[in-house]
Amino acid sequence: MLHHNRPAHPGINTGAARAISALVPEAVTVLITPVTHDGKQRYRVLVADAAGAEVGTADAARRAVRLLRQAFPAANWRREQLAHLGRADLTEQPYPAAPVHLGLDTAGGDQ
C-alpha cells in the first residue's frame, strides 16, 4: 500500500532546517530525488527559493542531503523526499521521481 505525501518521520527537525538555511539563506525547500546511474544510487537535489528557482551551490546541496539524512533516518531514501524548511519537516513524494527523458533509472519501489 502506497502512502503519498506522508511525513517521512514523526515530528520536525528544526536543527537541520536552521543549518540548511544558514548554508543557503534564500532556500525554502529541498527536493531530493534518488536516481540510479551506472548501477550506483545518487541523488538529484534541488534547493529552491520561494519562486521555485534553484539556489545555492552544488556543495551546499550535498551538505543539505547529509543533514536531512541524519535528521530523518527513518525516511525511505529510495523515494523522493521534499523538505520544507519553514515547517522543518520532510515529506515523501509520489512517483515518478525523474522524467524519463533524462535517461536515468529512478531508484525503485518501497522495497
Q: pLDDT, tens digit, for every residue of 61-102? A: 999 999 999 999 989 998 899 999 999 999 998 865 566 667
Rounded Cα–Cα distance for residues 67 and 52 (Å): 21
**DSSP strand pairing (29-37 vs 81-84):** antiparallel
What is the value of pTM for the model shown?
A: 0.76
pLDDT of residue 25: 97
- What does the CA dihedral 45, 79, 9, 3 come to, rounded to 10 degrees? 140
pLDDT of residue 57: 96
**Centroid of chain to Cα 56:** 15
